Structure formats: C-alpha cells, structure tokens
Amino acid sequence: MLCDICHKNTATIHIQEIVGSEKKTLHLCQECATRKAQEDSSFQALNLAEVLYNISSQLNAEKKQETADQEHSGIFCSTCGWDYEGFRKTGRLGCPDCYHAFYDTLKSAIGAMHRGTTHTGKVPGVSQGKAPKRAPMDKAILKRELEKLQNLLNAAVAGEEFERAAILRDKINELKEQLKGEEDHADQA
C-alpha cells in the first residue's frame, strides 16, 4: 500500500481517526508521518509511543501479543530472578542465562532486530588459538531450570490447574530435548 500523502513510498504507519460516526484510516510512510507530526499540532498529540503502537495494531499482531503475554507471563530466569514483566518494561534482560529462559519469547524479536539469527562473528578465545570457553547456557543451568519447572508442574497438578500443567509439560519436554542436544554436542566436542 502506498502512502496517502506522497503516493511514492510504502505506507508503514496506519492511523485510525473517528470523524463523526465514520472511521477513517490514514496510511503513511515513515517520512510523511514524521513530517506531519512536526507540522500538525493535533497530530503531535499522538506521541511516538502511540504511533509505534499503531504500527503493531493490525489486529493480528495485537492478538498475538496478548496470547504471548499470557503464555509468557509466568516465565522467569532461575539464575537471576528476572521475569517476563521486567523484560517487557525495560526491553532488557537480567543476566546472560536469561537468554535461555526467555529464548522462545525473544526469538521473533531478535529476528526482526537483526539481519540474521545466528552468530557468525568473532568467538572469544579462538583468535588466540585457544578453545572457546564453554557457553554459559550449559547443562547445569538447563538441569536447574528443569527441576524448577518440574516443581511448578507438580504444584499445578496438585492444584488441578490442568491448562497450566499442560503448558509446563510441553516446556519440560522441550528442555529435555535441548538437554539431550547439549549432551550430544558435548560428546562430539
């Protein structure tokens, strides 16, 4: 879709206005939206947060976010205690191990931020001819996480929270696979 103002660039910002009983949608490209925001004071009332919100407000994205919030709200990092709420508020993680605890939550965001999803650059230790140090998301951490989830699962079953239990069970299975992968990896190394 082309921008409603310049008719040249692709529209990436969609702003809904209610005029009388009619709902109007304005489709703008990044540049025209910025220019309009500077010129038009009524437009300025829409602060950046709102404009950004609008970018993602295509209904699907919003729904996805809601389910993501529900699904991820109980997740926390067992090393530092950082939780999903903390990540949502600050956009930051609490410690290196958080990347393990929040990986599923972060996967798509990481993909959107970067040109790839796998590191191909420098590895510490390699350029000095030493073997790279063991990655911090190692077996011990996975095992600790697994134990924690197992306890949560037991509690959920005891409390007859079966929906929650099912989510936890899937999570545990996933971790077990990962742990197995790590072990295979260790065998090869």
Partner 1 sequence: MRTRPEELINSPLSWLADSGPDDDIAISTRIRLARNFSGTPFPIAGNQEALLQVRDLSLDAIRQSESMLDPMEFDLPALNEVEKQLLLERRLISREMLTPNAAACLVADRDESLAAMINEEDHLRIQALSPGFQLKTVWDRINQFDDALSRRIPYAFDARLGFLTSCPSNLGTGMRASVMLHLPGLAMSGQIAAVKQATGKLGLAIRGFYGEGSDNFGNLYQISNQSTLGESEMQIIDRLSSIVSQIIIHEKKSRNFLLENKQSYLLNHVGRAYGILRHGYLISSEEALNSLSALRLGVDMGMFSSVDIHTVNELFLHVQPAHLQLRAGRELSSEERDTERATLIRETLKAKRGR
Name the site residues for partner 1 (rule: CB under 8 A): 31, 79-82, 86, 90-97, 99, 106, 109-110, 113-125, 127-128, 132-133, 135-137
Measured from the CB atom, the residue of 20 and 124 that comes closer to partner 1 is 124
- CB of 169: closest distance to partner 1 in angstroms? 25
- CB of 174: closest distance to partner 1 in angstroms? 15
- CB of 87: closest distance to partner 1 in angstroms? 9
Measured from the CB atom, the residue of 15 and 32 that comes closer to partner 1 is 32
Measured from the CB atom, the residue of 54 and 79 that comes closer to partner 1 is 79
Q: What is the dihedral of CA 49, 55, 60, 66, to 10 degrees?
A: -20
- CB of 137: closest distance to partner 1 in angstroms? 6
Tokens for 20, please give them: 């009388």
Measured from the CB atom, the residue of 17 and 174 that comes closer to partner 1 is 174
Measured from the CB atom, the residue of 106 and 149 that comes closer to partner 1 is 106
- CB of 156: closest distance to partner 1 in angstroms? 27
Exposed e or buried b per residue across 58-97, where buried means at least 16 C-beta atoms within 10 angstroms of its C-beta: eeeeeeeeeeeeeebeebbbbbeebbbebbeeeeebbeeb
3-class SS at 126?
helix
The answer to whether the beta carbons of residues 102 and 77 sit under 8 Å apart is yes
3-class SS at 17?
strand
Phi, psi of 57 (to 5 degrees): -85, 5
Closest to 5 measured CA to CA, from 23, 41, 24, 31 = 31
